Amino acid sequence: MTNEEAKFILSAFRPNGMDTDNPRFGDALRMAGTDPILGQWLERSRAYDSAVAGKLKQVAPPPSLREAILAGARVSAGPRGGMRRLTWIAGLAAAAALAVTLLTMKEPTRPGSLVPAFASFAIADALRDGHVGHGEPSEALITGLQASGAPMPGAEQIDFDRLKDTGCRTLSFAGRDVIEVCFARDGTLFHLYIARIDPSRADLSTKGPVFIEQAGGAAAVWSDHNLGFALASKAGVEAIRRLF
C-alpha cells in the first residue's frame, strides 16, 4: 500500500476515533503510526474534519424553512411538479447551510499548515486538568495573564528556554517541544501552549488569531515571529474571544 492509497482510505476515518477498531482502516492506520509524514497528514486531516464538523453543528435551518417547504408542495401543480419543487427548495436550503459553514470557516490556513492540528492538540490536552508549572518566570507570566484585560503575549514577552528550564510543563507536538502554562481569568481556566515555529516552513504562522471549536472545548491559535501560540479552554470559543 502506498501513502496515497493510505490517504484515500484514511480520508473516510472519522475524527472522533470511532473507526479505530474497524479492520478496513487497520493497515492504513498502522502505516500512519510508523510513517511520520503520513502520521502528520492524518493528524491535520482529523483536526480539519473536527473543525468542519463543529461548524456544521452550529448551522441551524431558518425557522420558516419547514413552512416554506410545505407551502411549496401545496401550491405545486400535480404530484410530479410538487416533488420537483420540494427537491429544489431542499437543495436551496442545503446550499444555504453550506454557504454559512464556508463563510464561517473562511479557511484561515494554507495547505500543509499545522494550525488546525495544533488547536486540536491544545484542546485535547486542556480537557485533562491538573497541570502544574513552577519557577519565577512561569509565575510572572501567569500573574500577567491573570490580570483582567491583559493582552495575550507575543514573542517579546516569552523566553522559551528559560520557561522550559525553570519548570513549565513540556509536551511534544509534531516533533517539537511545547511548553504550557495555566491561568485563570474571571473564574475561567485557560491553558496556553507555546511552540517554536519552523523557519523553513512557517507551519504554525497565522495572520491573526484562528478560532476553532470542537466537542468539549475550543482554542485560538496565533503566531508572532518565531513562536506559535494556542490558547485552549473548556469554556468555549466565546470565552476565548473575549481575551483578544
Interval 113-147: pLDDT, tens: 889 999 999 999 998 765 555 678 888 999 999 99
What's residue 87's pLDDT?
A: 59
Report the chain's terminal Cα–Cα distance, integer Å: 46
Q: What share of the chain is helix, strand, coil (3-state, %, to 5)?
A: 50, 20, 35
Q: List C-alpha distances in Å: 89 to 58, 81, 84, 85.
A: 21, 12, 9, 6
What's residue 230's pLDDT?
A: 97
pTM of the model: 0.58
Give the whole-angstrom CA distance, residue 145 versus residue 83: 58
36-58 helix and 3-10 helix, angle to the nearest 10 degrees? 20
Q: Which residue would you say has higher pLDDT here, 199 or 83?
A: 199
65-75 helix and 78-105 helix, angle to the nearest 10 degrees? 150
pLDDT in tens, 51-94: 766 666 666 666 666 676 666 656 555 555 555 555 555 555 55
Task: Express as a percent the part of the chain with pLDDT over 70.
Answer: 72
Task: Express as a percent the part of the chain with pLDDT over 90.
Answer: 39
Give the whole-angstrom CA distance, residue 54 versus residue 145: 28
List, in order, residues 6 or more apart from 59 with CB less than 8 Å away: 97, 100, 101
| CB-CB contact of 209 with 196 (8 Å) | no
Give the whole-angstrom CA distance, residue 66 versus residue 239: 33
| CB-CB contact of 205 with 118 (8 Å) | no
